[in-house]
Amino acid sequence: MKLLEERILKDGHVKGGNILKVDSFLNHQIDVNLYEEIGKEVYRLYKDSGITKILTIEASGIGLACVVAKEFQVPALFAKKNRTKNIDGEVYAAAVESYTHGITYTIIVSKKFLNPEDRVLIIDDFLARGNSLLGLVDIVKQSGAALVGCAIAIEKGFEEGGAILRGKGIRVESLAIIESMSEGKIVFKNQS
C-alpha cells in the first residue's frame, strides 16, 4: 500500500535491534485517516471471503481491527494478555512469546465470542517472527472456526514470521513489506 509505505518513509525511524518506530502514526499516536485507508484496503483484499469476525491481540492491533471490522460490518474481537475479573466462563488460550518484551504470556479469548460457524480474519500492526499471529491461529483452530487469513499493516520481510505462516498454507496480506532496513534507510519488497 503506497500510502502506508510513504508514511513509513516520512515518519518511521529505525532503531538498533531491527526496531522500526512508527509510534507517531500507527501504534501509539494514531492517524485515524490512515487507519481508515488501511481498513478500506484490507476490505478490498478480503471482501469476498465471507468474514464474520475480526480477531486481533491487545493492545496495538485493536484500533486496526476496529476500522477493518467497520468496513466488513462484523464484530472485532481481541485476545487479552491477562485474565481479568470481567471474563467469565470458558476461554481459548495459547502461549505467545513477545518479541518486543522478551517474555512469554498466555492470551485468552472467551469461548462465547468465537465458534465453529465463524470465518475469521486476523489483524495486526506488525509481523516479524509471527509469534502473536501463531497464537491467534491456535485460538481460531481451538474454536473450530475457519481461518480466512491474516492482514498485517507492516511485515518485516527479513524476519521468518511471514514465511512460517505462508508455509502453513495461511493467506497473509501485508500492506507494507520491508525487505531491509538500517538507520536512515528502509527498502520495501519490490522496490530494491
To the question of whether residue 7 is assigned a binding role by annotation, the answer is no
To the question of whether residue 115 is assigned a binding role by annotation, the answer is no
Phi, psi of 16 (to 5 degrees): -55, 155
- The residue type at 47: K
Whole-number Å distance between alpha carbons of 3 and 25: 12
Cell numbers standing for residue 149: 487469513
Nearest to 175, CA basis, from 12, 42, 72, 13: 42
Pairing type for strands 146-156 and 172-182 reads parallel
To the question of whether residue 132 is assigned a binding role by annotation, the answer is yes
To the question of whether residue 18 is assigned a binding role by annotation, the answer is no
Residue written as grid cell 511471514: 162
To the question of whether residue 131 is assigned a binding role by annotation, the answer is yes
To the question of whether residue 130 is assigned a binding role by annotation, the answer is yes
CA dist 75 to 53, 58, 70, 121, 173, Å?
Answer: 5, 15, 8, 11, 20
Binding-site residues for 5-phospho-alpha-D-ribose 1-diphosphate, please? Answer: 128-132
Binding-site residues for xanthine, please? Answer: 20, 27, 156
Binding-site residues, please? Answer: 20, 27, 128-132, 156
